[in-house]
């Protein structure tokens, strides 16, 4: 008996010690653990902010939707009035009533309602009106969770620009990714006491933290202009059987992007159908610009004082430099052109003869100041900095190919930025696309303005502008780009296209970039087509697209003609200069080192 008594007391002492630990020393922790185990949580996703164009037109918005779920163990208790008599109809009756509202056949829905699962999704993206009808049926175990569906009213017109949202609610591309932090908001939740079977306890503790909706984002894009540019480039890509095409429309004075079209495209409402075209090629694709790059060489040569627009250049049929024979697009006898004529006629040889007067280091510095070899600072998804080799690493021939736009690579935004600089009196303003972010009170907080970069003087910029007007003249390479009633300046580009898949050149890159009105530039339009088959010269292929988009842009933005006369472009000197004229730029057999 004494042994048994000692044993019982020992056991009771253990129980007492454990009880003291639980109710005394560890009371708070045990209580918190118990509370957490009986608390359930329902998460409410935040409504994603809208993306708007400069005029408030919706490019992307979120629409309230419901995800309908079922507790299969409760459905058999479904009772409804049949012939004025309350009748238990169970799973079969529930399937009959829910089928037309959920759009699920009765046999399939019956299987989905049958079982012992406490949670199963029946249908997603149910409209609030439809959920109201479902809820009014009073089917046991049928619940819903708030969610949203992303909608893109402009569909394919701005798909790769605006981006899309995946099925799980995460951003999948374009501005949806770039501005995701501002757009996504903060999810809300309801915390409640629940029973062992997961049901809310009546009059139990409950706390709701409301969701914070995302902020709206306003862009610099004009929706109508975006739509027009997208359709214009799409038609030309299909007509010429090109691989792809882009159109960039930019405000010449502010750097605001008014349209950035890219084709092929996709439907952001169904993004899974075309995953190859999610990126906007104006940012992601890099290519050798060809003759549009001659604008940099011309600007550098004029700014450095080694040439003037009126300077005469003797242009032979072939030019030997660094063990390479350079030629123009077409064979010709030795001819004399003004430097303005060299640009208007897009002479590779004339550009080399003028450009080699500037040292490689100085030439490279101008490429950098014009924005090549670096990203824009927008951090747009997929943006490439292009390819710009340091002058110290240039090969012998690259020293000269760089001067007429080969041996380096740019994206369409960078190419457009060169002309924006010339149009804006020599001041480059990095392109930007976000105008402001919603402040939560119906207004917008303006985005920070980019830092301007002075590249050349206003005098140099004006001289280059006047020269570029000659390109669309009767003696230039792109009369198709003229716009009735407006002064237009621009440059064609036709370059060999490097294909990374084959590791060599295949096809051409055709482009035209220009601005208007030429004497008071407001708009820059850059058109680029990759590997067109039915025609490939920039003036003939890209020039008409430039004409159409520029015409529409001038009308859409209500920009009137200036009414001034274009300067007369002097393409050739009045008479052939004498061989001893020191002002003429000639081939003196330069070794290519430059001054």
State CA 521 to chain mean position distance: 25
Using alpha carbons, list the distances in angstroms from residue 1 to 5, 422, 478.
6, 109, 117
3-state secondary structure of 342: helix
Please count the CA atoms within 13 angstroms of the CA of 84 that sit on its side-chain side.
Answer: 0
Query: Which residues are 495's β-sheet partners?
Result: 509
Query: Which residues are 245's β-sheet partners?
Result: 263, 529
Spatial distance between the Cα atoms of 371 and 358, rounded to a whole number of angstroms: 19
State the residue for tokens 């003939």: 540
Annotate 191-222 with DSSP letters as a single string: EEEB-TTSPBPTT--EEEE--BPPPPEEES--
Count, in order, helices (H) and strands (E) of the chain.
19, 23
Query: Which residues are 325's β-sheet partners?
Result: 320
Spatial distance between the Cα atoms of 434 and 446, rounded to a whole number of angstroms: 9
**Tokens linked to 94:** 């529930």
Residue 464, burial from CB neighbour count under 10 angstroms (0-12, 13-18, 19+): buried
Spatial distance between the Cα atoms of 477 and 513, rounded to a whole number of angstroms: 12
Identify whether the C-beta of residue 288 lies closer than 8 Å to the C-beta of residue 498: yes
Identify whether the C-beta of residue 217 lies closer than 8 Å to the C-beta of residue 519: no
Q: What is the CA radius of gyration of the chain?
A: 34
Identify whether the C-beta of residue 406 lies closer than 8 Å to the C-beta of residue 352: no
Q: Measuring CA to CA, which residue among 396, 364, 408 is closest to residue 496?
A: 408
Phi, psi of 510, rounded to the nearest 5 degrees: -110, 135
Identify whether the C-beta of residue 389 lies closer than 8 Å to the C-beta of residue 318: no
Alpha-helical segments (H) within 21-164: 27-37, 90-102, 106-113, 128-137, 159-162
Positive/negative CA dihedral, 306, 387, 498, 515: negative
DSSP 8-state assignment for residue 256: B
Identify whether the C-beta of residue 78 lies closer than 8 Å to the C-beta of residue 91: yes
Identify whether the C-beta of residue 214 lies closer than 8 Å to the C-beta of residue 194: no
Which residues belong to the active site?
291
**Tokens linked to 323:** 């063990």
Spatial distance between the Cα atoms of 535 and 201, rounded to a whole number of angstroms: 74
Alpha-helical segments (H) within 163-314: 174-178, 180-183, 223-240, 281-284, 294-303
């Amino acid at each position: 008996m004494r042994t048994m008594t000692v044993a019982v007391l020992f056991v009771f002492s253990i129980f007492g010690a454990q009880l003291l630990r639980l109710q005394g020393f560890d009371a708070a922790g045990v209580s918190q653990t118990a509370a957490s185990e009986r608390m359930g949580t329902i998460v409410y996703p935040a409504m994603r902010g809208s993306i708007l164009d400069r005029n408030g037109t919706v490019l992307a918005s979120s629409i309230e939707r419901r995800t309908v779920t079922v507790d299969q163990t409760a459905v058999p208790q479904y009772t409804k009035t049949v012939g004025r008599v309350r009748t238990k109809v169970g799973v079969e009756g529930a399937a009959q009533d829910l089928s037309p509202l959920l759009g699920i056949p009765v046999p399939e829905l019956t299987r989905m309602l049958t079982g012992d699962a406490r949670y199963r999704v029946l249908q997603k993206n149910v409209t609030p009106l439809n959920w109201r009808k479902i809820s009014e049926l009073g089917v046991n175990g049928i619940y819903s969770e708030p969610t949203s569906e992303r909608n893109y009213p402009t569909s394919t017109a701005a798909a790769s620009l605006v981006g899309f949202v995946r099925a799980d609610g995460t951003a999948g591309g374009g501005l949806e990714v770039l501005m995701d932090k501002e757009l996504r908001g903060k999810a809300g939740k309801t915390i409640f006491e629940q029973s062992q079977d997961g049901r809310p306890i009546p009059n139990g503790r409950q706390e709701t933290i409301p969701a914070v909706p995302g902020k709206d984002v306003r862009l610099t894009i004009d929706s109508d202009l975006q739509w027009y540019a997208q359709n214009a480039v799409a038609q030309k890509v299909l007509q010429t059987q090109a691989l792809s095409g882009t159109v960039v429309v930019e405000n010449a004075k502010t750097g605001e992007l008014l349209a950035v079209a890219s084709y092929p495209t996709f439907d952001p409402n169904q993004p899974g159908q075309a995953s190859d075209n999610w990126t906007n090629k104006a940012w992601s694709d890099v290519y050798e610009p060809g003759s549009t790059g001659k604008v940099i060489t011309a600007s550098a040569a004029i700014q450095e004082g080694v040439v003037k627009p009126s300077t005469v250049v003797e242009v032979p049929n072939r030019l030997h430099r660094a063990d390479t024979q350079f030629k123009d697009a077409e064979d010709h006898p030795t001819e004399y052109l003004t430097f303005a004529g060299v640009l208007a006629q897009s002479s590779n040889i004339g550009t080399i003869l003028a450009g080699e007067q500037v040292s490689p280091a100085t030439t490279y510095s101008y490429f950098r100041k014009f924005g090549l070899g670096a990203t824009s600072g927008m951090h747009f998804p997929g943006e490439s900095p292009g390819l710009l080799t340091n002058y110290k690493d240039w090969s012998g021939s690259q020293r000269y190919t760089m001067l007429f736009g080969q041996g380096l690579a740019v994206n369409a935004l960078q190419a457009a930025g060169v002309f924006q600089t010339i149009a804006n009196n020599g001041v480059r303003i990095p392109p930007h696309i976000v105008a402001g972010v919603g402040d939560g009170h119906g207004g917008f907080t303006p985005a920070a303005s980019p830092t301007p970069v002075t590249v050349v003087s206003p005098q140099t910029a004006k001289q280059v502008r006047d020269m570029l007007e000659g390109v669309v003249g009767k003696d230039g390479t792109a009369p198709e780009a003229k716009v009735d009633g407006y002064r237009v300046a621009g440059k064609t580009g036709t370059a060999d296209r490097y294909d990374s898949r084959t590791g060599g050149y295949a096809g051409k890159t055709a482009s035209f970039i220009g601005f208007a009105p030429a004497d008071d530039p407001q708009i820059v339009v850059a058109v680029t087509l990759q590997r067109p088959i039915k025609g490939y010269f920039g003036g003939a292929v890209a020039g008409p697209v430039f004409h159409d988009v520029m015409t529409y842009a001038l009308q859409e933005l209500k920009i009137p003609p200036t009414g001034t006369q274009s300067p007369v472009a002097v393409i050739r000197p009045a008479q052939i200069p004498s061989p001893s004229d020191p002002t003429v730029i000639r081939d003196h057999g330069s070794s290519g080192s430059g001054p």
